[in-house]
Structure 1
Amino acid sequence: MQQAYCELTPTESPAPFAIPDFLKRISLAEVASELALGEAETALTLAARRRRFAAANHPDRLPAEARLNATLRMKLANMLIDEAVRRIKKPSMPK
Structure 2
Amino acid sequence: METIKLELDQKKHGAFNLYEDGKKLGEMTVSIKDDLLTVYHTGVEPEAEGRGFAKKLLEEMTRYARENKMMVLPLCPYVHAQFKKRPDEFADIWKK
Range into which the TM-score falls when normalised by the shorter chain: 0.3 to 0.5
Q: Which one has the largest radius of gyration?
A: 1
| Greater RCO (CA < 8 Å, at least 6 residues apart) | 1
TM-score (norm 2): 0.32
